[in-house]
Amino acid sequence: MPPRSDDPRRDATGSRRGSSRGSEPREPGLGGISDARAYTPRGRTVREGGGAEQRRTPRSNRSGDPFRPALQVLDGGRAGRAGTREPATDGARSGRRSTAGGGRAGVVRTVSSRPVREPFDDDEDAPPRRRSQPRRPAAQPRRPVRKPRRPPRLGDPRRRLRLGTVLALALFASIGVRLVYLQTVDTPAYADGGLPNRLAVVELPAPRGAILDRGGEPLAHSVEARYVFADPTRVKDRFATARLLSPLLGVPVSDLAEKMRKRTLPGTDTPLQFVYLARGVEIGTAKRIMELDLAGINVHRDERREVPGGDLAANLIGFVSQDMNGLEGLEAKYDDVLRGQAGKRTYEVGLGDLAAPIPGGYSRTTQPQPGSSLKLTVDRDLQFMTQRILAKQTAKVKGSVGAAVIIEVPSGEVLAQASQPTYDAANPTKVGSPADRDDAATTFVVDPGSIHKAITYGAALQEGVITPDTAFPVADTIVRGGVTFRDTHPVGGRTMSIPGMLAFSSNVGTIEIAEKLGKDRLFDYQKRFGLGQATGEGMPGEAAGRLLPPDQWSGSAYGSVPIGHSVDATPLQMAAAYATIANNGTYVQPHLVKETIGADGERSPAAAPTTRSVLSPANAAALRRMMEAVTTVDGPDGRATGLAAAVPGYRVAGKTGTGLRYDGGKQQPGEVGSFIGMAPAENPRYVVAVFVWSPGGGGGAVAAPAFREMMGFTLRHYRVPPSLTNKSPKFEVFPR
């Protein structure tokens, strides 16, 4: 607000006059703290010294804050120091300031060569002069004004907030990016890093397939069981524990205590923490063991192979290991079919005391695939009776070994295949000798003897060397290669028919017929009838036998080979040769497996057996009629060798034999008695072969009776009508 024009203290230019001390003019408002004390709320200033004038401060210059002028003075006259300083003249200060318009202006004074701006009274920023402050002498220069220390600049909270927000967001953004990277890119690596330590694997065993007979009845099958194991490091008292377990497991206390003895793994210092105490334990027994709550004793799921028949077809079926792997017999031959594919469950578990599945953790289950079942051609009832009859007959001969085979005509299916001695397939270790587990029908290599004569006569008929009516004189002996061959029924050179030669098993007559046939053709028919090679029936370890090639025949071979010597064959091979005669001259490969049944019930028939034509039907029928003489000729001229094999009510064609046994290529002491026949002879349905070896001989005395019983039961079992209306022909042994 501009100053009033009637103010006596202002000159024409608007400048205010003031008093001076000495020669230095003094302007109001320039004093220090004393001027501030001289300030009154009414705007009056009391000058120091005499003649001081009082004036009214214009209302427009009053500050709303009464303490503002004092604070400006205490601030050191910042406004005055901000002005431009000029040098003083004559040691006096210039006490004027000019104004233009209504704006603020100041008079500049010089103190110690430093210009100082002095505010007017109407300057709002100028503090009032203090009353008690004395004026400074004009001649004394003013002390330089020290620039006060600048107070610390307070931080701006809004800037701090913004900065903190930016830093926090940057931190969280970097953490978020890292988390996303870990969750998306590095997830597999980090997740799999510790996974092996958290995984538990439980094997899910696959049930082993069953072995069934032709009617679907089980010969061997698996049942669920338990195995009992011990952790020797946790067993407190192994002897006390063994005494409690022994009556339940059926294992001696000493054996159990030895198994639970603390020991280390071979070659390491790691203690043994697992040992089997028993396998295949029944579930009920396992529960009783768990109720005992014995330290270090536990049970787990297992599988046990059951053989309902005990020793029924044991030499055929074989047995398995504790781990359900086939070791012998059909169990070994078809192990890949019977054995299923085990499954497993892999899952995450907690560590330490929390060894339990982690909910929502890794878990993967591979379901087990049960094994397929084998359906055999064997009839369990017929197999049982065959084994029983064979055991009874062989018991009559000390130290004997027997084999019996029953083949169905024309399918070639093996209905029964028995061995004696036998064993319980559920306890394969409880046998007198490992050889007792062999299947004699396929591993029993024999020198067949006279049963081979049927092959010689069949080849001669087929090649036209003889006919059913052929007859010629037969001497008692014949020499070939320096070896004399004799007949067991000498006839003194009388003319003998072919049925007579078969009935009395003439060696001389057979050798003479073979000479007319020739060694090459005889060798060819031996192979056609299936000798010299394994039949491929299905049993593992089947012997192939051996034939003597024609180029290796010695002089004596012309006499020995036709009558079944210098020939190695198995009972099954000879039975298949006779089945060829019974099947109208067509060879059919004998076989044991009828079909395979998958776990899903799908049935897969076995491969079709190999077949080939060996004899014409007419020649086969003629040979069967001539072979009936073996079981029927009984007159004043002699008794046939096979009368004991005759089956009442049925026509039977067959042949007896006495041969040798070979083991490892070496001839064994004693002899092998055999009989192979077919019935009904007019239309054969079944072929039965019986072989009995004894170190002291006598096998022939039991082979024919055993055949009679087996064939009789077979015919009745399958309800084959008797041959009452079709009698056997009458044979003339010595035609006139």
* Residue positions annotated with a catalytic role: 450
Tokens 């210009």 -> residue: 115
Helix (H) or strand (E) holding 180: helix 157-184
How far, in Å, CA of 4 to CA of 151, rounded? 39
Query: How big is the chain, counted in residues?
Result: 736
Reading the block at residue 224, the tokens are 């669920």
The reply to whether omega before 410 is within 30° of 0 (cis) is yes
Is the distance from CB of 144 to CB of 176 less than 8 angstroms? no
- Cα separation, 569 vs 551, in Å, equals 20
DSSP code string of 353-422: T--SBPTTS-EEEE--BPPPEEEES--HHHHHHHHHHHHHHHTTSTT-EEEEEEEETTT-BEEEEEEES-
**CA gap 690, 654 in Å, rounded:** 11
How far is the C-alpha of 562 from the C-alpha of 485, rounded, in Å? Answer: 12
Instruction: Report the candidate in 165, 88, 93 with the shortest Cα–Cα distance to residue 135.
Output: 93
CA–CA separation, 73 and 250 (whole Å): 117
253 contacts 225 by C-beta, under 8 angstroms:
no
- CA atoms within 13 A of residue 109's CA, in its CB half-sphere: 20
- Beta carbons within 10 angstroms of residue 649's beta carbon: 15
List CB contacts of 564: < 8 A, sequence separation 6 or more: 447, 448, 449, 450, 451, 452, 453, 657, 659
- Check if the beta carbon of residue 15 is closer than 8 Å to that of residue 22: no
With beta carbons less than 8 A apart as the criterion, state whether 44 and 137 touch.
no
**Nearest-angstrom CA–CA distance, 339 and 369:** 9
Instruction: Tell me the three state secondary structure of residue 348.
Output: strand
